[in-house]
Amino acid sequence: MKIFAIETSMDETAVAVVEQTDKGVVRVLGEAIASSSEMHTKTGGVVPEVAAREQVVAMIPVVREALQRSKVESRRSNQEQLMSEGVEIVELNRWARKNIDMVAVTQGPGMIGSLLVGVETAKTLALTWEKPLVPINHLWGHLYANWIGGDKPPELPALGLIVSGGHTDIVLMHKHNNLEVVGGTGDDAAGECLDKCARVLGLPYPGGPEISRLADKFEAKKTKIKIGLPRPMKDSGDLMMSFSGLKAAFVREVQALGDGVSEEDKERLAYELQEAVVEVLVEKSLQAMDKYKPKSFLLCGGVAANSLLRRELELKIQNSQFKVQLFVPEVRYCTDNAAMIGAAAVFNHSPADISTVSADPALDLV
C-alpha cells in the first residue's frame, strides 16, 4: 500500500510517498521538501502569513518532485535517465492515480494558514485520484518517524518523548491508535525555550541548532565555567516539566552582562543552556522508563536532532538496568517532514469523510 503524505504545519512544505515493508518498517519511496525558514531568520521567528504564502507557491513543485522520485524509485529502472528526461505533471498525476492507495495529511496542531494549504491540497488530490483521505495528528507523526527505515520496528508498549518547537510531551503508546499522555511541560516547550534564548543572544531562527553549534565550540575549548542555570522540576517526583523559568534565568544572565556580551560569553551561555535542557529531558525520560517499563523508547521532534540529547539518552540507557530499546529517527526525520505523516497513516488509517476533514490548529495529542 502506497501512501501519499503532505505536511505543512509550520514553515515547511513537505510531500512524501511511503509504504510498509515486509519487516514492518516504513520505506520512503520519494520525498521533497521546501522551507521558508530562511525568510524567518531576520524576524527571529516564523511569520504565519509569510509561511502560508510561501507554501502556496511551493506546493505544486514539491508534489511534482516527490511524485517524480517515487515513480522512479518504484520502477527501479534507469533512474538518471528518467530524472533527466523530466516527467510531465500530467503523466505524474496519472501515475499517482494508478499507484497511490491513500492520501494522508497533517490536520493539526500548527498554524492555521499553513495547515489549510496542506489540508485543502490533500482533499483536492484525494478527490481527483479517488482515494481515501486520512487526517493525521502532527505529534503522532513525530512518534512514527521512529518507524522509518531500520530493520525492525519499535516493540509496543513504548514510551515516547516528543520534543519540538511547540511541544514537550511524554506519551505511553499502549498499541497503535492508543496513546496516553503521562507527562510533559506545563508551560514552554523545550524547543521554544531554545529558540527564545537564542533570540536574546541575537542568533537567527531556528535557535536550537545555533545554540548547539555555539555550545560545541565552547565544549571544544574545554573551559568549564558553570553559570549555574536551574534544572527546573528535575526532582519534582513526577513527569512534569517547565522551561519558562529556565528561559527567564537565561535572560537574567544575559542582562547581567550588559552591553558587553562577547562571542565567548555566547558560547558559554549556549553551552550551559543546552546542558540544562538536555539534563532535564534525559532525567525525566529515565524516570518515565522506571515507572512504565516500556519495551521501546521513542525520541522524536525537532529537538531530537540535538546531538547531545541523542548521545546522553543513549549513554544513560546503556548504563541503566532498563531493558528498553532506544529509537531515534535520522536527523532529517526529527524536524518536520512528510514521511513521518505517511508512517503514522500506515498504522492508523481510518479514512475520514472528505467533507468533514478540516485543519485544526489546536488539535490535542489525544
Q: Under the criterion CB under 6 A, does residue 191 sit at the interface with ligand KG4?
A: yes
195 binds ligand KG4 (CB under 6 A): yes
Nearer to Zn ion (CB atom), residue 179 or residue 201? 179
Contact partner, 303, from ligand KG4, Zn ion, none, Cβ < 5-8 Å per class: ligand KG4
Q: Return the exposure string of 61-90: e unless at least 16 CB atoms fall within 10 Å of the residue's CB, then b.
A: ebbbbbbbbbbbbeeeeeeeeeeeeeeeee
- Contact between 335 and ligand KG4 per CB under 6 A: yes
- What does the alpha-carbon distance between residue 121 and residue 63 come to, in Å, rounded to a whole number? 10
- Regarding 272 and contact with ligand KG4 (CB under 6 A), the answer is no
Q: Select from 30, 160, 184, 301 the one that contacts ligand KG4 (CB under 6 A).
A: 301
Q: Which does 209 bind (CB under 5 to 8 A by kind): ligand KG4, Zn ion, none?
A: ligand KG4
Q: For the CB of residue 108, give the shortest distance to ligand KG4 in the complex, in Å.
A: 11
Position 342 contacts ligand KG4 (CB under 6 A): no
Q: How is 321-356 classified by DSSP, letter by letter?
A: S---EEE---GGGTSS-SHHHHHHHHH----B-GGG
241 beta partners: 185
Q: How many whole angstroms separate alpha carbon 328 and alpha carbon 157?
A: 16
66 makes contact with ligand KG4 (CB under 6 A) = no
Taking alpha carbons only, the member of 2, 1, 111 closest to residue 53 is 111
Least distance (Å) between residue 302 CB and Zn ion: 6
Minimum CB–partner distance for residue 335 and ligand KG4 (Å): 4
Residues 140-169, interacting with ligand KG4 (CB under 6 A): 164-166
Distance CA 344, CA 5 (A): 10
Q: Is 13 near ligand KG4 (CB under 6 A)?
A: no
The only residue of 37, 137, 185, 306 in contact with ligand KG4, by rule CB under 6 A: 306
Query: Which residues have a Cβ under 8 Å from the Cβ of 69 and sit 6 or more positions away?
Result: 29, 30, 31, 32
Stretch that binds ligand KG4, among 21-29, 206-214, 245-253, 356-364 (CB under 6 A): 206-214
Contact of residue 335 among ligand KG4, Zn ion, none (CB under 5-8 Å per partner type): ligand KG4
Contact indicator for 333, 339 with CB cutoff of 8 Å:
yes
Q: Which residue has the cell 492507495?
A: 101
Residue bearing cell 529509537: 327
232 or 301: CB nearest ligand KG4: 301
- From 35, 99, 92, select the one nearest 66 (Cα to Cα): 92
Q: Using the rule CB under 6 A, is 37 a contact of ligand KG4?
A: no
| Residue 305 interacts with ligand KG4 (CB under 6 A): yes or no | yes
Alpha-carbon distances, residue 84 vs 24, 34, 68, 133, 184 (angstroms): 33, 21, 11, 32, 48
Q: Given the rule CB under 6 A, which residues bind ligand KG4?
A: 10, 164-166, 191, 194-195, 206-209, 212, 301-303, 305-306, 335-336
